Chain A
Amino acid sequence: MPSRLPAFRPPPALLASLLLMGLAPAMARGGDEHAHHHHHAASAVSRSEITLALPQVKLRSQDGAAVMFADTLDDGRPVLLNFIYTSCTAICPPMTRIFAEVQESLGADRPRVRLVSVSIDPEQDTPQRLKDYARQFGAAEPWLFLTGSAAASTTVQKAFNSYRPDKMGHTPVSFLRRGPGQPWVRLDGLAQAGDLLRELRPMLPPRP
């Protein structure tokens, strides 16, 4: 049955007002030391641990290569993942910049961590666009930017409980996992490079 509206418009303004009113504690306040001001929605980081089943969908990397999502994430390395789109204005550039800072800070450990950014606007974000975007932020191996069919991207977003029918309604969230079969750490809010590295470094196996 065709629906009257193809995309339900989530009420970002309402979400924002709820935050201001202190009615969205899970999102705005996570007992985090950064949360000095209620109206600083982006500064409050809330941490949770979750388990989820990775969907085995076919996506495409910034190099145009076909990528099986679950297999790629289950390569044994710790994973740091987020959702972005390249035409996004306020949130994605800072999020991507922070991932780039993490990448730099990892130094020699960089190849031991898988960074993944999944596009939530896959039809616009062709592999070529993702490649340009990755270059703009100095992203290097093994940081993957993934796109694919709208359905495949939606499946991944839903598996991470991060799906918004309207991409403009998205909120900053990062995910980390030590290895296959392990729980994920979910950080809601604009986690800074320091926040991410504090989670990520203990996930690295000791060097032989």
Chain B
Amino acid sequence: MHRLLALSLLLLALPGHADEALRAEGQRLYLDGLRADGSPLEGRRPGGEVLRGRDLACAQCHRRSGMGTIEGVVVVPPVTGAVLFAPGRAPAGHAPRRAAGVALLDHGFRTRPAYDAPRLARALREGMGAGDVPLDPLMPRYTLNERELAALQAWLEELGKGPVPGVGSTALHLATVITPDADPRQRDAMREVLQHCIAGRSPPPGSGRRTWVLEEWTLSGPPQGWRAQLEARMHRQPAFALVSGIGREWAPVHEFCEAEGVPCLFPNTDLPGPAPRASVYLWPGLALEGAVLARHLLEQAPVPKRIIQVFDPADAGRAGASALRTALIDQPVTVLDQTFHGPLDETAWRKLLPAMEAGDVLMLWLGAADLARLPGRLEAAPPTARVFVSGTLAGLERVADARSIPPPWRSVLHVIYPFDAPEARLSRMVFNLGSWMSAQGLSLARDTERTQGNTHTACEITALALYTLGERYSRDYLLELVEDSYAGATASAFPRFTLGPGQRFGSKGAYLMRVETDGRLSVDGEWIVP
């Protein structure tokens, strides 16, 4: 025990460990605004009151990557070691236009000398930049001791330092994940669009920039084995980021992305993992449908006393069922789970549906084949019952026809529909994606257009972000640029697609649809954001 203690003391005394401890303190100040003892960092903006902690953590404005940001007219300059401890300079190839009679004042951070320890101290404590120009009033003036200044400097020197996985000498390596449970037609649609889009957007060979090389990581076997396969692929040829991809189950991929810190951008899945940081998803998946239904039910009087939800716990509907239950946990509503395994026939249906009372709500987390086998007569459900189905699982309007659902059910059905209304969506897809697809020798298909549009969106947003990134390779910076590149979502399946700092889902709501007599779905009410 004593020997162990002595050994650790010795290790602590070694310069490498001292540096590491100092950097860790700097990192905490930078990211969370917390001192080594856990107390909040203090500072103030000129004319403002004393601020503490996260409010004035460096990362709040300079971002996790240290690359800064632009908001309206506010320019937050980069503070990574390579930039800060070198003289300021204009971006390569930048020649500002000049006009007669107008004096050009470039940003102070582009004309200043390099920072060193005393200059950094003066900037942080007094707000005076290295070029003897006061810093923007948005930059707080901090109360920092010598150790904290050294710690911050140590962290900033580390920030943005390479090497970055997936960045080769001439190639930027990207990958896309395909799980074995992906529907083959949707999988092929995703692959085609992604391959063509990445090839088309990549800087061409000989351009002096790294070309984008896309690998397909096709997984096999049950989900328990996927994580190891992903790690092996990453070891063999590291990828800077994962783009699009497709799978029904996604948890192992999600966990891999979070553990590796590799950006996983907009996979086609209905089951995004919890609390994403490295992953950015198209939408929150089936969980969103459950939350939307809860929100709708709570807003429509009368609030039901009982909700019966039917789902297969082995299938994706479980995520929706769980979200619905969670959203209603504090409400005086009984949620009754009716679960089943395998395909439903009429006998199974009769066993599954309890006698329903007036005012009950029935939620069906089912695919089209099961819905088509609903009992032909409605005696199980009184005419006043409200019946909801998951638009994603049922695939009505694209892979199945709502007319296949027995008529008495059809007329009382509400479809939770997290996509843009079919006709508006199709015309937008044709307009924004059709000609590109034709030029690639590809074609939009009725049953795959959502996958095609979403894959194109994943590629376009990634491409926009990669172009802005330039040579400043950093996975954190890529994620920050993705948050700001949602203008690339011209052909997504969703009516609105936006991101922002820290946001991890592009679309955030759903429509309710009713089924018209001809089987078409039509929007019933407003877009619901839970």
* A interface, CB within 8 angstroms of B: 1-2, 4-7, 9, 12-13, 15-17, 19-24, 27-28, 37-43, 85, 87-91, 93-94, 97-98, 101, 121-124, 126, 149-150, 164, 166-172, 190, 192-194
Contact = CB atoms under 8 A, between A and B. Distances in A.
B63 A89 contact: yes
Contact of B72 (A6, A12, A23, A150): A12
Contacts of A23: 102
B425 to A, nearest CB: 9
Given A150-B496, A193-B48, A6 B138 contact: no
Contacts of B509: 123
Given A4-B432, A91-B72, 9 more contacts: A7-B498, A21-B103, A87-B502, A90-B71, A93-B55, A97-B48, A97-B55, A149-B527, A170-B72
17 contacts: A2-B432, A4-B431, A4-B490, A17-B96, A19-B73, A21-B102, A24-B73, A28-B73, A40-B137, A89-B63, A97-B51, A166-B487, A168-B71, A168-B72, A171-B74, A192-B47, A193-B48
A41 B484 contact: no
Closest 5 CB pairs of A and B: A171-B72, A2-B428, A87-B500, A41-B73, A123-B508
A166 to B, nearest CB: 8
B136 A42 contact: yes
B88 to A, nearest CB: 13
Contacts of B486: 7
A98 B498 CA distance: 28
A90 B508 contact: no
A7 B74 contact: no
A167 B46 CA distance: 26
A44 B432 CA distance: 42
Contacts of B103: 21-22
A85 B71 CA distance: 12
Contacts of B280: none
B69 interface: yes
Interface in B171-194: none
Contacts of B487: 5-7, 9, 166
Contact of A39 (B55, B72, B107): B107
B83 to A, nearest CB: 17
A17 B91 CA distance: 14
B484 A168 contact: yes
Given A20-B105, A21-B105, A124-B508, A85 B500 contact: yes
Nearest to A15: B73
B106 interface: yes
Contacts, number: 153
A93 B133 CA distance: 24
A101 B49 contact: yes
Contact of B74 (A5, A42, A97): A42
Contacts of A167: 498, 500
B136 A12 contact: no
A87 B47 CA distance: 25
Interface string B507-521: 011000000000000
A42 B503 CA distance: 25
A6 B425 CA distance: 13
A100 to B, nearest CB: 9
B41 to A, nearest CB: 15
B497 interface: yes
B489 interface: yes
Contacts of B497: 6
B471 interface: no
Contacts of A2: 424, 427-428, 431-432
B45 interface: yes
Contact of A172 (B72, B432, B484, B489): B72
A39 B490 contact: no
A197 B457 CA distance: 47
Contact of B498 (A90, A94, A123, A193): A123
B529 to A, nearest CB: 5
B500 A123 contact: no
B229 interface: no
B10 interface: no
B526 interface: yes
Contacts of B508: 123-124
Contacts of A121: 498, 500
B218 interface: no
Contacts of A21: 99, 102-105
